[in-house]
Amino acid sequence: MSLLDVGALPGTPAGDGWWMPAEFEAHEGCWMLWPERPDNWRERAGPAQAAFAAVAEAISRFEPVRVGVSPAHAAAARAQLPPQVGVVALAHDDCWMRDVGPTFLVSERGGLRGVHWRFNAWGGLEGGLYHPWDQDERVAAEVLSLEARPRYRAPIVIEGGAIHVDGEGTALLAEECVLNPNRNPGMRRERMEAVLREYLGVSQFIWLGLGVYNDETDGHIDNLACFLAPGKVCLTWTDDPADPQYQRSREAWERLNGARDARGRRIEVAKLPMPGPLYMSEQESQGLAPSEACKPRRAGERLAASYVNFYFANGGLVMPLLDARTDAQAAGILRRLCPDREVIGVPAREILLGGGGIHCITQQVPDSRAPRVRPVAPRAA
């Protein structure tokens, strides 16, 4: 893997005084991509496109949304998306903007920069989800160029869905994913932390163990837990000891209860009961185009469903609707946890069938003009 990248900034974000803000802070807008490939999205991606359009519409009530679309799909996407949502030509292999987009950075002096992570389709040729992924690899650079923002090129493979921060110096990560040898073979925790300190501007790490059961990303944190505010985390939960998620969530709960954030605070943990269990149906699996290039999706497979996979918009929270038996309860809990936000539910089963949720298909652009205070001790002097 060559580290030379013409056009990338020298140095590192922390060294230059930049850091990743929390998603619950103010945004300038949101980026998404358009689902197109018929081997990952059933019925030639029609139902998924309707679901993505509904997510874009919901977010656009709170902040501007732009959707990257392959040139061949531009006219159809324009016709399906509401007029206030921007459509931008942007080639991609699949549509997970959280993972292939840039991680935006802020500074005390205002402005925006971005990190362009290395991407290997969640595991490379051994265990990754599709190939090739060269167009996805370029999406972050393309978005930063369209935003006219400078770019740092990171030396590690990681995805945006594997990272949550509180914006005050703390990162929340899952070992199953971030330390998985299918991303950065041979890289140990200490080296990973050193790189993330430099590229996220954090100083404290809260490591959870395993992610959501059967999550094809190898346990992205954005499906398991997220910060609701500094010192406050929401965790996907089940009370059923027979469910394979039970031990995973319990262990995460114990680790969170023993953790301190970068400011020395204990973490308050809110449990968010998960939907289901949910499974792919025969009809859903049959609607996929056969392909050698993409992970097969079979009827009866457990879906990695989680209500934690929501998106914070300015003044809003856009959550996935996944199970009529539990949607209202989850919405009620999120309303209680985030009383200053309007909580909007969007049907998200079609997104889940492709392997992710609403958080996975979005990428916030932080407000470049909001006053900011640099997080505590981002790096040793």
Closest CA to 66 of 130, 154, 142, 167: 142
- Rounded to whole angstroms, the Cα distance separating 341 from 107 reads 26
Pairing relation of β-strands 204-208 and 170-174? Answer: parallel
Span interacting with ligand KQY, options 182-190, 220-228, 230-238, 332-340, rule CB under 6 A: 220-228
The answer to whether residue 129 forms part of the interface with ligand KQY (CB under 6 A) is: yes
- Rounded to whole angstroms, the Cα distance separating 302 from 298 reads 9
| Residue with smaller CB distance to ligand KQY, 149 or 295 | 295
The answer to whether residue 220 forms part of the interface with ligand KQY (CB under 6 A) is: yes
The answer to whether residue 276 forms part of the interface with ligand KQY (CB under 6 A) is: no
- Rounded to whole angstroms, the Cα distance separating 36 from 340 reads 35
Closest CA to 167 of 296, 18, 289, 50: 18
Span interacting with ligand KQY, options 52-60, 64-72, 217-225, 311-319, rule CB under 6 A: 217-225
- Give me the least distance between CB of 15 and ligand KQY, in Å please: 28
Which residue carries 């709960």 as its tokens?
253
Interface residue with ligand KQY, options 355, 366, 375, 378 (CB under 6 A): 355
The answer to whether residue 47 forms part of the interface with ligand KQY (CB under 6 A) is: no
Span interacting with ligand KQY, options 16-24, 146-154, 233-241, 355-363, rule CB under 6 A: 355-363
- Give me the least distance between CB of 353 and ligand KQY, in Å please: 10
Amino acid at the residue 34? W
Helices (H) and strands (E) in the chain, counts: 12, 17
CB atoms within 10 A of CB 70: 18
| Residue with smaller CB distance to ligand KQY, 14 or 313 | 313
Instruction: Check if 30 is active-site.
Output: no
Amino acid at the residue 323? D
Contacts of 245 (CB under 8 A, 6+ apart): 212, 213, 236, 238, 274
Span interacting with ligand KQY, options 132-140, 199-207, 213-221, 231-239, rule CB under 6 A: 213-221
- Binding footprint of ligand KQY, residue count (CB under 6 A): 14
The answer to whether residue 360 forms part of the interface with ligand KQY (CB under 6 A) is: yes
- Give me the least distance between CB of 361 and ligand KQY, in Å please: 8
The answer to whether residue 218 forms part of the interface with ligand KQY (CB under 6 A) is: no
Give the pair of three-digit tokens for residue 71: 């040139």
Residue 106, CA distances (Å) to 8, 115, 158 in order: 17, 11, 20
- Rounded to whole angstroms, the Cα distance separating 266 from 339 reads 22
Which residue carries 């009961």 as its tokens?
273
- Give me the least distance between CB of 303 and ligand KQY, in Å please: 11
The answer to whether residue 35 forms part of the interface with ligand KQY (CB under 6 A) is: no
CB atoms within 10 A of CB 282: 10
The answer to whether residue 249 forms part of the interface with ligand KQY (CB under 6 A) is: no
CA–CA–CA angle 122, 175, 114 (5° rounding): 60
- Give me the least distance between CB of 131 and ligand KQY, in Å please: 13
Closest residue to ligand KQY: CB criterion: 161
Q: Which of residues 83-122 bind ligand KQY (CB under 6 A)?
A: 96, 98-99
The answer to whether residue 223 forms part of the interface with ligand KQY (CB under 6 A) is: yes
The answer to whether residue 164 forms part of the interface with ligand KQY (CB under 6 A) is: no
- Residues serving a catalytic function are 360
Using CB under 6 A, list all residues that contact ligand KQY: 96, 98-99, 129, 161, 216-217, 220, 222-223, 354-356, 360
